[in-house]
Structure 1
Amino acid sequence: MSDATVRTAYSAINELYIDLFGSPTDLAPDDTAFVLRHLADAEGPVLDLGCGPGHFTHVLHEAGLAATGIDLVPEFVAHARSRYPDVPFRVDSLRAVDAPTATIGGVLAWFSLIHFAPAELPDILAEFSRILAPGARLVIGFFDSTEHVEMFPHKVTSAYRWPVDDMSELLRSAGFTELERQQRPRVGEVRPHAMLAASRGR
């Protein structure tokens, strides 16, 4: 899906999205613990790619990391800059991140890959691999699927569910080694989701 399509869809509902999901207290403690377990010791800058309203970037900053939030949606970035003035944020695309090769200490992509079609993800993950230093870590969160990759009608715009094994294989093909995975079952209106932590090959 094009950046313009995703940007337009989220811009249209940015205030509602921020109200519903834009606070650090909206993050599940177990999910936050997973992310920090793998990124808290990052050496060098950490990028929160697809940071939305900036709440997870703030969590990374509060953990002592040199975190920067990056998002396609100008309204999200404006909100994040206002609410978290001590944290840098900028508008940018995940397709071509403005960072020198092998300079980033860690990347968080928390549900920011869900709108990319399966054929697009190898290039996105290759870009993550390019900017990460050898041995640096990538943590991703995504919607879980038990059988196969499938598109579904996400409330903002079309998105994809991924079996964890399939996503892990994509990471391996991009030069990453899986370190840990966790899966969360459906709870009420919250869809099943999963997370993977991986390190970039040396």
Structure 2
Amino acid sequence: MTGDYLEQTRAGYDATAAEYAERFHHWLDRKPVELAVLQAFAGLVGTGGHVADVGCGTGATTAILAGHGCRVTGIDLSPNMIGEARRLNLDLDFRIGSMTALDFADESVDGVCAWYSVIHIPDEDLDAVVAEFARVLRPGGHVLLAFQVGERPLVLDEAFGRKVSLVYHRRPLRQLGRIAERHGFTSYVETVRGPDDDGLESTPHAFLIVRKPTAC
């Protein structure tokens, strides 16, 4: 698995963590579709179920899932983003880590939330990441994937007035679905919404919930 993109992603979010938190931490407050998806996912996990929120950023999704009764561990590659998450969510659990090598035992979590975080994983490494999700997830557990739909990546070399090197991989919903199926998951929810008319979105957004079969 190549590692350069991990270093670039970490550096980009480390450099912009404070500005990102100020602008986007409460972004979901005015996103009813996203809030409904997160509530549905929390309901599937169940009250007290343990969720690994991978690529948690400032902990916005971590807090929402916790508010719906889940026991959530937020994980992010960027130490500065984890610092913002801890500052903004004092009573929640956050750890520095990578979705490419999760610090959880096999079959030890009830859900995995990857909320706009696999967008930074290149195509050649997606299978390994989904395999890692399958490894840590208990039979019968669910994975939530949120991502932008498209055929071409968005490449940023500047954000909030700072130099970065960030790649946002946009993909068809079915591409993620096929990868999940290769690792034993079955599709449970597949939905796409159009871009919001807020001047910040130019592509549709997809939400995919897949389920790991229960043991025979």
Same-fold call, TM cutoff 0.5: yes
Q: Is the 8 A contact 2:109 2:137 kept in 1?
A: yes
In the TM superposition, residue 197 of structure 1 has moved relative to its aligned partner by: 0.5
Q: Does residue 162 of structure 2 align to residue 162 of structure 1?
A: no
Q: Does residue 76 of structure 2 align to residue 67 of structure 1?
A: no
Corresponding position of 2:152? 150
Q: Is the 8 A contact 2:53 2:74 kept in 1?
A: yes
CA distance in 1, matches of 2:101, 2:86: 22
Give structure 1 regions of 4+ aligned residues with deviation exceeding 3 angstroms: 24-27
C-alpha distance 80-29 of structure 1, shift in aligned 2 (>3 A): same
Q: Which runs of 5+ in 2 are unaligned?
A: none
CA distance in 2, matches of 1:185, 1:24: 17
Q: Is the 8 A contact 2:144 2:210 kept in 1?
A: yes
CA-based RMSD: 1.6
Q: Is the 8 A contact 1:24 1:59 kept in 2?
A: no
Q: Is the 8 A contact 1:39 1:137 kept in 2?
A: no
In the TM superposition, residue 17 of structure 1 has moved relative to its aligned partner by: 1.1
In the TM superposition, residue 39 of structure 1 has moved relative to its aligned partner by: 2.6
Query: Structure 1: which amino acid aligns with 2:147?
Result: F
Query: Structure 2: which amino acid aligns with 1:153?
Result: V
Please, which moves more after superposition, 91-100 or 185-194?
Answer: 185-194
Question: Matched residue of 1:182: which SS?
Answer: strand
Q: Does residue 177 of structure 2 align to residue 175 of structure 1?
A: no
In the TM superposition, residue 26 of structure 1 has moved relative to its aligned partner by: 4.4
Q: Does residue 194 of structure 2 align to residue 185 of structure 1?
A: yes
In the TM superposition, residue 25 of structure 1 has moved relative to its aligned partner by: 4.3
CA distance in 2, matches of 1:138, 1:25: 19
Please report the TM-score for the alignment, with normalisation by the length of structure 1.
0.92
- What is the percentage of aligned positions where both structures have the same residue? 30
Q: Does residue 96 of structure 2 align to residue 94 of structure 1?
A: no
Query: Structure 1: which amino acid aligns with 2:201?
Result: V
Please report the TM-score for the alignment, with normalisation by the length of structure 2.
0.86
Matches within 5 A, 1:55-134: 55-134=60-139
In the TM superposition, residue 137 of structure 1 has moved relative to its aligned partner by: 0.4
CA distance in 1, matches of 2:28, 2:172: 27
Q: Is the 8 A contact 1:114 1:160 kept in 2?
A: yes
In the TM superposition, residue 118 of structure 1 has moved relative to its aligned partner by: 0.4
